[in-house]
Chain A
Amino acid sequence: MQPPDDADRPGSSTTYLGVIAVEAVVILLLWWLGRSFS
């Protein structure tokens, strides 16, 4: 018998949205950096 675990839950959607938001901010900052110092 395996102990019950959290394998069937897909994980926190808030965390996943946080990852996407951070990446979007980093990409925007890089884009701004390129435009400001070109």
Chain B
Amino acid sequence: MTIVDWTVVLAYIVWIVADGLRRSKGTDKVEGYFLANRSLPWWAVGLSVMATQMSAVTLVGTTAQAYSTGLRFIQFYFGLPLAMIILSMTVVPFFHRARVYTAYEYLERRFDVRTRSLASFLFLMGRAFSLGVTLAAPAVVISAILGWRLPVTVFVICIPMILYTSIGGVQAVAWTDVKQMFIIVGGMSAAVIVLALGIPKDVGLMQAMSLAGATGRLQAIDFRFDLRETYTFWSGLVGGLFLMLSYFGCDQSQVQRYLTARSVDEGRRSLLLSAYVKIPLQLLVLGTGVLVFVYYLFQPPPMLFNHEYDARVAAGPHAAAYAGLERQFQTEVAARREAASRNDRDAFLASDARVQDIRAHAVGIVKDTTGDARYTDVNYVFPTFITTHMPIGLVGLMIAAIFSAAMSASAGELNALATATVIDFYRRHFVKEATDRHYLNVSKVATMLWGLFSCVVAIYAANQGSLIEVVNRYGSFFYGSLLGVFILAIMTRRASAAGAFWGLIAGMTVVLVVAFTTPVAFLWHNLIGAVVVVVVGLAISSFSR
């Protein structure tokens, strides 16, 4: 990184914090702080919705996924546009009319306080830990690439974000999200242009695509109906539909975004913006990953992109074998480049398979030498490309884009955590009668405390691979079940408070059993959870009448 790039990154951080603080006007009341006085235009809300969902994991992890397996992850989003239509017709007008701060507040009006508190508690636990993971995953990669210590990276992301979120409230979150979305899209578009220009002229884009296609990386759609496959057309369309209904309809970090819209129609339009733009945007990210693969067919790639343990491997017992692999790798990469330039499909595929074998062997040596069974390489591919092949200035823009993604996803979640804490617990259970100023101050303190908590989780989670997996799976344990409770609340008149509460418990229990005892892919857990809650909830409701 040059001084120009560092200046770009620094300018970004200063600009975002200053803009966030400027937005604190009009947030001198709780409604302004949490809901922007329900005054935001649809496009700002819509971009904020997408920014909250687009984390740095999306930029680093999704490009890595496309680099190694191609476009098939896009199927995960096939349920999203349909979910947005359903939510626009149901939940958006419903919550708007109910004048609630949190989605869970409505559950008390419809059922009872214990269902509200349980739902809000599940949200708080899931989001608080997943926020830490959202920060940890990119922080690990950024630390390795920039040579920073992990806590330094975490605090460089967190401190500015906590500052503008706690002082400026949801207005700061929304308006900084808008700017961060432009930085992310601008940065990714710049990366695509640099990657496309890196393809030799005598090869051309069509031949490059044909090479990517030969390795299966352009096979986006899989129409097989197999419950064990994570990403198929059907798991994305049906399982993904229920996941997106739960996420956008019952998760406070998303519900709060469209509660800030100035009318029902503006709230609807904000969701429909995602319905139109989310899949193309995700294709931009995945396509970048595929282009990185093509780029490194013609530009010399390192054998491994993650250099964390280079020194230890060089001094370890397998150093000679590793050096031998390195030589084999250089020879094989040259053979692959030659075959790719000739467009000799069979020779290219055979050579590419040997390159992948050598890489897998090298990863095995690193793991053997260091004892780090969680060592991964693929997540470092895109950041390595950025820091070694992007032009001066654009490196800074891309690092700013990764920081933007980390901050925009975290800020919305932080704001939602504070809202649920203050509205669903503090004001509901502990201090019921106090001034608006008191609740506003408590809200700011809650935002800061959740922010610091997420920093601690991020630093701790970075060294706990198994914890990251547990946290990621935790969401799928309760998302579908929460959706089931909201279906009972909004769609039926027969459901009773006891039915909703015990239905929620039953739904989560069944999903837990299915997750640990069957190979059913996680996207289907959302459908299973929702159906169990509705069926059990209605059954208990008819007995308890």
> Is the A/B pair a real complex?
yes
Contact residues of A with B, CB < 8 Å? 2, 5-11, 15-16, 19-20, 22-23, 26-27, 30-31, 33-34, 36-38
Q: Is B220 an interface residue (CB 8 A)?
A: yes
CA distance A36 to B219 in the complex (A): 10
Interface digits, B206-225 against A, CB 8 Å rule (1 contact, 0 not)? 00011011101011110000
Within 8 A of A (CB), among B254-279: 263-265, 268, 272, 275-276, 279
Contact across chains for B218 and A23 when beta carbons are under 8 A apart: no
Q: Is B89 an interface residue (CB 8 A)?
A: yes
Contact across chains for B221 and A23 when beta carbons are under 8 A apart: no
Contact residues of B with A, CB < 8 Å? 71, 74, 78, 81-82, 84-85, 88-89, 93, 96-97, 99, 209-210, 212-214, 216, 218-221, 233, 263-265, 268, 272, 275-276, 279-280, 283
Contact across chains for B96 and A7 when beta carbons are under 8 A apart: yes
Assuming the contacts A5-B263, A6-B264, A11-B89, asked whether A30 and B212 have C-beta atoms less than 8 A apart, the reply is no
- Select A27's contact among B216, B221, B264, beta carbons within 8 Å: B221
CA distance A17 to B106 in the complex (A): 30
Q: Residues of B contacting A5 with CB < 8 Å? A: 96, 263-264
The total number of A-B Cβ pairs within 8 Å is 74
Contact across chains for B210 and A37 when beta carbons are under 8 A apart: yes
Q: B55 → chain A, closest Cβ, in Å? A: 23
CA distance A31 to B223 in the complex (A): 10
- Select A38's contact among B74, B219, B276, beta carbons within 8 Å: B219
Contact across chains for B221 and A31 when beta carbons are under 8 A apart: yes
- Interface centre among A8, A15, A33, A34, by most chain B C-beta atoms within 10 angstroms, is A34
- Select A26's contact among B84, B88, B218, B279, beta carbons within 8 Å: B279
Q: Residues of A contacting B84 with CB < 8 Å? A: 19
Contact across chains for B81 and A7 when beta carbons are under 8 A apart: no
B86: nearest residue on chain A (CB-CB)? A16
Assuming the contacts A5-B96, A7-B96, A38-B219, asked whether A30 and B264 have C-beta atoms less than 8 A apart, the reply is no
Q: A33 → chain B, closest Cβ, in Å? A: 5
Q: Residues of A contacting B220 with CB < 8 Å? A: 30-31, 33-34
Contact across chains for B81 and A23 when beta carbons are under 8 A apart: yes
